[in-house]
Chain A
Amino acid sequence: MTSGIDAKEAPVSFRPGELEVTGPGTGHLIGSRCGSCGAHYFPRRQACARCLSPEMETVPLSAEGTLYTYTVVRQSIPVFEVPYVLGYVDLPEGVRLMSQIAGCDPDDVRIGMPLVLSIEPFGEDEDGNELTGYRFRPATTEESHD
């Protein structure tokens, strides 16, 4: 980490309960794993929907997934600049989550494409401070299109 960054400049997660940010551009999604049957959930749950066990462990989720389906959102609420690609991403743990898809022309997005998690700036808090969130990006292009 660069020296001289004070605490105020450390990246702040836009949703601390769902995304742990460990440094600039690094972090992971936070889910639950059932201690009894092994089912995974995102976001975290207090009990397992498969076996109703309350023994849920908080675990980091995989940073790789595949695109189940997607859309290009052209009308949204004011905090989101349109257009943006929105998709459902399937993780190897058996979790499907919604994410924006970045780093790819909307015309090149395809169902089934491999994706990787990207920890990046994502909006601002009420005082105008930058927040850190997540998007998924095509696994093949990685950071070259930033």
Chain B
Amino acid sequence: MTDVYVLGAGMTQFGKHPDRRSDDLGADAVREAIDDAGIDARRIEAAYCGHVFQGMVTGQRILAQLGLAGLPLSNVENACSSGATAVREASLAIRAGEHDVVVAVGTEHLTSRFRGALTPDPDDPEAAVGATMPGVYAMRARRYMEETGMTREQLALIPVKNKHNASLNPLAQFRKPVTVEDVLESRPIADPLNLLDCSPVTDGAAAVVLASGEAAKQLGNGRAIRLAASALRTGVVETEPTSMTFEPLTHMTATDAYERAGIGPGDVNMAEVHDCFSIAEVLRVEGLGLFPQGKYPAAVEAGEADLGGRLPVNPSGGLLGKGHPLGATGVAQVVEIVRQLRGEGGDRQIPDAKVGLAHCRGGKAVGIEGAACTVQILVR
């Protein structure tokens, strides 16, 4: 089976784009990824598009803007893992030997589709009793605090860290650092979470050009980054009440990815994880085995997850700082890791990073511990 490489990466400014549409943004990202790969657009053989709320055939509208006609294209939806799922599907098409050069794009114009707190699908029994995504994570935060003794101030250090990183990222939605006091004094959303504990409503797009080993050798300009693993799992149905302070789905997906890549959590130099809420970053890095269970808040306090720390987490600013255009998020994580591993991280460059991990988790359905989870490992 062939290896898969990222040849090119592109990403729009994340933020509010009242004058643009999801296909405009997607086309910008794809064009930048193709330019970055330095290849003729005619080399693109297939495309996958991840989005959540952008309607039918969003991917076709993106490619039409670029004059790319006639390609096999699939639009994929996996809630907040949609973009990451598009990357995985593109990698599978290459590993299967069907295609040599494939583009994966994620896009979302969320400000025109949605406001307020995200909720599960209206058909879901939990949505019917008042579930909101902030509420679900707030309940996990409450339980984690009860079990581990994590303080509210420790939890606030996660948005503080990520928004600091975002202040160094020109493409991030938020460029202004915040303090613990700012987090604690921001508007309550679902106790104990406040506004600054929650990822924002964001428009944006990101894209990558993937290639087989042979195509990368022929077309690559020496900057190709290997996509060593791209794992996807669906949450298991709960047959008894289980702990909400650990994520079996994240752990299971990460195990697949580590096995496929032939590396362990100790080899990871940087991680982009799905910090849709402050508490989410805690649950994710512990589920990924990057930090011991119950210990991440203290590690953040000690600076271990900072840009200069032992294992920088969300150097891009994460969803909290960079923004969270749902379908674009998983692709943007890969873009950040590619740039870091190439040494193009700018003011937030992690010295000598060789292995990066991207984690996405999306969706809520009654009775399952998380809907869709992806873990991707990139190696220089």
Contact = CB atoms under 8 A, between A and B. Distances in A.
Interface of A: 14-15, 18, 39, 41-43, 45, 48-50, 68-77, 80, 84, 86-88, 90, 94-96, 98-100, 106, 111, 133-134
Contacts of B193: 71
B240 interface: yes
Contacts of A133: 128-129
Given A72-B190, A74-B191, 20 more contacts: A14-B128, A15-B125, A39-B240, A42-B125, A43-B366, A43-B367, A49-B236, A68-B143, A70-B139, A71-B142, A73-B135, A75-B116, A75-B132, A75-B189, A76-B117, A76-B130, A77-B119, A84-B130, A86-B135, A96-B238
Contact of A88 (B134, B139, B146, B236): B139
B241 A94 contact: yes
A51 B15 CA distance: 47
B379 to A, nearest CB: 36
B143 A74 contact: no
A45 B139 contact: no
A86 B130 contact: yes
B239 interface: yes
Interface of B: 116-117, 119, 125-126, 128-132, 134-135, 138-140, 142-143, 146, 187-193, 236-241, 244, 366-367
Given A86-B135, A87-B139, A71 B130 contact: no
Contacts of A43: 125, 366-367
Contacts of B238: 49, 96
A77 B133 CA distance: 11
Given A14-B128, A42-B367, A73-B130, A90 B239 contact: no
B117 A98 contact: no
B265 to A, nearest CB: 27
A49 B116 contact: no
Contacts of B367: 41-43, 45
B127 to A, nearest CB: 9
7 contacts: A14-B128, A41-B237, A49-B237, A73-B138, A74-B187, A86-B129, A133-B129
Contacts of B131: 86, 98
10 nearest A-B residue pairs (beta carbon): A49-B237, A71-B138, A69-B143, A96-B241, A72-B191, A50-B239, A69-B139, A71-B190, A94-B240, A98-B126
